[in-house]
Amino acid sequence: MTKHAALTVILDDLQTELEKQGLWTTQPPTPAAFESETPFFADTMDFSQWLQWVFVARFRAMMDAGVPLPASCDVAPMAEEALKEMERDMSEIISLLKAFDEHF
């Protein structure tokens, strides 16, 4: 399996898990929320919004366009920190992000 194919599977699984957890939304954040200069847009979005509307969306767009992917990706540690206060089990989301990071 190619790197892009493997990453696509992980992104699909991540979307499915976010949907199962009730964290995948149909309403995007406001346009102003995307103008944040704070890492992970932490001042304008919660982490699950950032995953959906920035991380998943941008990686899908980059792969669809055939542009080079970043040299590194290390989002799992942020996920562990951002999701630790959630009252539901976020371990599958964190595992998927670790698997994603391992491809870089």
For the chain, list the domains and their CATH numbers.
3-24+37-101 (1.20.1440.40)
Nearest to 38 by CA among 54, 25, 24: 54
**Are the CB atoms for 56 and 40 separated by under 8 Å?**
no
Model confidence band, residue 102 (pLDDT cutoffs 50, 70, 90): very high
Rounded to two decimals, the pTM is 0.94
What's 25's DSSP letter? -
| 3-class DSSP assignment, residue 86 | coil
Please state the rounded mean pLDDT for residues 51-69: 97
For the cut 90, the answer to whether the pLDDT of residue 85 exceeds it is: no
Longest dimension (CA), the chain: 38
pLDDT above 90 covers a percentage of the chain that reads: 96
Give residue 42's identity as a one-letter amino acid code: A
* Encoded tokens for 62: 């980059």
What's 74's DSSP letter? -
User: What are the residue ranges of helices labelled H in 1-104?
Assistant: 3-20, 47-50, 57-65, 76-83, 91-101
